[in-house]
Amino acid sequence: MPSTTTQDNTERGYVIPMGGEVEKVNKPIILERFFELSGGPKANILVIPTASELTETGPDYADLFESMGCRSRYIPVDEREDCFKDDIQSALKEATGIFITGGNQLRLSTILGGTPVAKLIRSLNAHGVHVAGTSAGAAIMSEHMIAGGASGPTPRENGVTMAPGLGLTNRIIIDQHFSQRDRIGRLMAALSYNPFVSGIGIDENTAAFIDPNGLLEVLGHGAVTVLDPGELSHSSMANTKPEEPITLIGMKLHVLASGAQYNINTREAYSEK
């Protein structure tokens, strides 16, 4: 993560990637915590449904947050030209929490990438606005985004496709629907390119709440798998032929259930409180 405070000493907002299929009706503990962080009844939560092509996605999430007792609306960002509209940027500036829905992460990156909306989301998060996203909305949060790749346990040379993300953090790469879609191989393949970052694989109905100091806490019914390449002694990625498996020596793995923590800056893991 960048520094925890800005030049005007404003504390950063939380970054909250969710693994998809988040519970909305029966004990929606993940969305309720995001609601409380964003101000509870005083919150103004803005929903960005760009990744989804379903017309009901934006209204459904806005209605859900309103039912919790706060103001909420969605903004129809369906084309790049929408990202240059003054009314959409004005709506963003009023938000205490921003929620990015699931869908297609390449649709998100090709519409939002490099636009005033993307720049504004980064700036708002740096100045205290909490940003949450589920599924595709989670994947795009990091500087480098997993755009696609094959399922399976083994990392392979052509096992992952990368694209630029929003850049809310440069310390992690995020994958979602993790254990349900057997994505550990493609997350390891992503890390083999450059082991500077940690890999965060988030199960469905599970979230990683990353505070301004880079401390990640798990909440939900699944787990967060952390792949830490900080002590990686060898990666064969540079010499591996297409479709061949990659040799990775020294990769550290943590499986964190609800309540467990991981510091994305120091790469230290902690058990449940």
CA neighbor of 243 nearest in space, from 123, 112, 111, 154: 154
The Cβ of residue 90 has, within 10 Å, a number of other Cβ atoms equal to 9
Interhelix angle 105-112/116-126, rounded to 10 degrees, is 100
Distance, CA of 160 to chain centre? 17
Domains and CATH numbers, the chain: 15-260 (3.40.50.880)
User: Annotated catalytic sites, by residue?
Assistant: 135, 177, 204
Average model confidence (pLDDT) for the chain? 95
Task: For residues 163 and 147, give the distance between their C-alpha atoms in angstroms, rounded to a whole number.
Answer: 6
CA neighbor of 213 nearest in space, from 250, 171, 181: 171
| Helix ranges restricted to H, 222-264 | none
What integer pLDDT is reported at residue 8 of this predicted model?
58
Mean pLDDT (whole number) for 159-181: 97
Q: Tell me how far CA of residue 138 lies from CA of 69, 79, 82, 203, in angstroms.
A: 24, 20, 21, 12
Residues 6 or more apart whose Cβ sits within 8 Å of residue 208:
16, 17, 18, 174, 200, 202, 216, 217, 218, 224
Q: Are 123 and 98 in contact (CB under 8 A)?
A: no
- 194 pLDDT tier (thresholds 50, 70, 90): confident
pLDDT digits (tens, 9 = 90+) for 241-263: 989 999 999 999 999 999 999 99
Tokens matching residue 119: 């720049």
Report the first-to-last Cα separation within the chain, whole angstroms.
23
Annotate 10-51 with DSSP letters as a single string. Answer: PBPPPEEEE-S---SSS--HHHHHHHHHTTGGG-EEEEE-TT
pLDDT digits (tens, 9 = 90+) for 41-75: 999 999 999 999 999 999 999 999 999 999 999 99
Identify the residue with better confidence: 135 or 3.
Answer: 135
Question: What's the one-letter identity of residue 21?
Answer: E
Question: What's the one-letter identity of residue 35?
Answer: F
- 9 pLDDT tier (thresholds 50, 70, 90): low
- 10 pLDDT tier (thresholds 50, 70, 90): confident
